[in-house]
Structure 1
Amino acid sequence: MKNLTKIKQNIRSEVRGKVMRVRIGAVAKLLAENIEENISDEIGELMGKLTTELSDEETQSETSGYAFDQIRKALIDEIKKHLK
């Protein structure tokens, strides 16, 4: 049986190697794209649940953008908590 330290060293070396880094990068990109799409969809749903009137047509764009940013930040903060 191989030395456990040597096996762990080989695993670290392989994971840090170019081939595996490319594979990990591709998977990370795919996950990030899916997460961004899902986050945008969920923010839209949450914005629809706001009870605050976003104001008149003149300021609606600004208040909508502000609401979007606030919900996005809160949602991402919560996602980070669950990823740890």
Structure 2
Amino acid sequence: MTLTLGEFERQLQPLLTGWTAEPQAHGWHLWRPERSVIISCWQRPALRLGVLLLPCLDVSIAFSGNADQEADFIEDFLRYFRRGGG
């Protein structure tokens, strides 16, 4: 993702509503009854595109729960992190 860790954390906050969230060394552990999500983040070297220098964040998401719950979480995640463009 072309975000800094701070930008990612700010955009993540609305998604955390309804979840119990525990910060971890490289991310967050979220849980609700019968499901949990671990979001891990690592800041990578900036991406250079000509004169542009873009932050780069490596994000992984691990689930426990059923496929419908996973799909619902991903849908919410994408809604909060959709950046537009065109």
**Bigger radius of gyration among the two:** 1
- TM-score bracket for the superposition, by shorter chain length: 0.3 to 0.5
Provide the TM-score with structure 1 as the length reference: 0.33
1 or 2 for the larger relative contact order (CA 8 Å, sep ≥6)? 2
Compute the TM-score of the two structures, normalised by the length of structure 2.
0.32
